[in-house]
Amino acid sequence: MSAKKRIVVLGSSGSIGTQTLDVVRQHSDKLEIVGLALGTRIDVLEAQVREFGVRHAAVGDESLRGNPAARSLAAHLALADDAETAATLEFGQDAVVGLTGIPEADIVVNALVGAAGLRASYETLRAGKVLALANKESLVVGGDLIMPLAARVDEERRASGAAPATGPAGALMPIDSEHGAIYQCLLGERMEEVSKLWVTASGGPFRGRTRADLADITPAQALAHPTWNMGAKISIDSSTLMNKGLEIIEAHHLFCMPYDKIEVVVQPQSAIHSMVEFSDGSVKAHLGTTDMRIPIQFALSYPDRWDAPVKPMDFRTLGSLDFAAPDADTFRCLALARIAGETGGTLPCAMNAANEVAVAAFLAECCAYLDIAACVEAVMEAHDPQSVESLEQLEEIDAWARRTAEAWVAAR
């Protein structure tokens, strides 16, 4: 194995993807990019390919195959061919997922947005590679499929000596700040002594508002997150607290924790990224600068810790730390996600698909802000949950839920 950890980044033009590349820049002696994929921005992809000397690239939008920028990138990659391995540029969603299987890769960073990331996570683990996961929907929709695969890869890593001598084997490393924080708080602890996981929330841009206050919210207002710089879909989810609902479901799968032991607490300063409470009343909290490069780096460096990728927090200037209960009545998406998780089966899949459609409709100004939760609830009520059996089943339910949500929006 190469001395460097070799990485594929799926979603390399997004917030998580670009920050992952920044971590690689700062630790180029330990990390190497071997594959990159994004949706449409071929100009960005070519710049990244050239900078990092990447030989394998994929573009999700099939229609861009004959684009002049695509021809330029293909010509550049052709120069990277050697006698042993041809450089590749492929198009379409299957091509993006296909990068998970290239033999050069040790780790796949899944920073794809939405349910499209589920198959990439599944194939990463099926190929026996480490999954650094920033795609919430992989576990929300397919946790019943993903976690057994991760357990199998953990066993393989232990058997081969690739796992650390102590602690988790590291087949699935959560990238988002909340689950990365919980992961670190649990290191060295006994799971049977955990009494509660506290998932922190900033409260979003509308903390303290009433439902009446939210009736005329615009996309621009909802996109203005107070502490984190994120993509449009995730920013809207943060404003509705759907983001926290999805994180509850993720935490249930990642840490095998029952829902009655997972709580959300609003922490507006976003200095505490999450907490773990133990049976003796002790609480471990993970604190740090509000910069995603910290959890990204730990997901890539585990079990080691490398020099900080950002300026560390100065506690002398932090000021106060405030806490509050979330308002699940006003922010109905939080309650709906918990209901979906507790019900289980295919209901989280239907819930997630409806939310993606409703958020896109709101961003396109085709429905009101409060319609997001209303649409999600309508689709959930129309769905008859089943046990999760396969990716194909989940894809069918995802498609049904999207059609149902689109019809609901069109009828408004």
Q: What are the binding residues for NADPH?
A: 14-16, 39, 135, 137, 231
Residue of 239, 215, 204, 227 whose CA lies nearest to 324:
204
Q: Distance of CA 305 to CAs 9, 106, 261, 298, 314, Å?
A: 21, 18, 29, 7, 19
* Rounded-to-integer distance, Cα 352 and Cα 113, Å: 12
Residue of 222, 256, 227 whose CA lies nearest to 242:
222
Instruction: Please state the residue numbers annotated as binding site.
Output: 14-16, 39, 135-137, 176-178, 202, 225, 231, 238, 243-244, 247
Instruction: Please state the residue numbers annotated as binding site for 1-deoxy-D-xylulose 5-phosphate.
Output: 136, 177-178, 202, 225, 238, 243-244, 247
* Rounded-to-integer distance, Cα 221 and Cα 301, Å: 37
Q: Which residues contact 83 (CB under 8 A, 6 or more apart)?
A: none
- Tell me how long the chain is: 412
Contacts 24+ apart (CB under 8 A), 212-219: 214/330, 214/369, 214/370, 215/368, 215/369, 215/370, 216/368, 216/369, 217/368, 217/369, 218/369, 219/362, 219/363, 219/365
Q: List beta partners, residue 275.
A: 198, 285
Instruction: Please state the residue numbers annotated as binding site for Mn(2+).
Output: 176, 178, 247
